[in-house]
Structure 1
């Protein structure tokens, strides 16, 4: 990061950058020990960060991102630095995200005449599908109106 970029981030950005640089200088064995510990010894990282790192590594690998392990480790460190210990950060769980994606899919397939068909396809009542369509319509209008300002 350049000095200009660091000025855009909170005061601890320079410290975080220094930590990332130090982590990059570790050889692979030291890096693995730092993150995962050894068999009978506790890791330096909490298990939540280790799990987050593993999930991100798998996602990055599935998207053919080079250096996926190293990138995942650094992302986990950054996320931990900025969000760790905060009680006010809410991350939706998978079911909440699945519902949101399902609602968008229903909106995309809705043509004004297929309410009953969508209700059957998604295993819900026509009323619920209608409510989802109305919510998605409001969201679309809100997105478009922002562009008009």
Structure 2
């Protein structure tokens, strides 16, 4: 348990940094202001969930980041290597992303074959 507590400040610092970067990238917030907002969000999350073990699920739809969507949208069936170089990831990672996004696309379009059936 003491090891978990010693990691807590590191977790909060990391969370603050990620929030600040996201604010700068996503809404073009000025770095100083983004840092202030990020600290405030982190403090509120710590006050609300402090002392609890929090699990962040990694569901299929959550894993599909904007970058993954861009990679998939740029995929033409033969440009795996080009995309790997462009995005700085391995060739295997490109295959994995294309497969995951394709699977998500198919699931979204098809729906559940074994879901509830309306009986008349």
- TM-score norm. by structure 2 comes to 0.46
The higher radius of gyration belongs to: 1
Larger relative contact order (Cα-Cα within 8 Å, sequence gap ≥ 6):
2
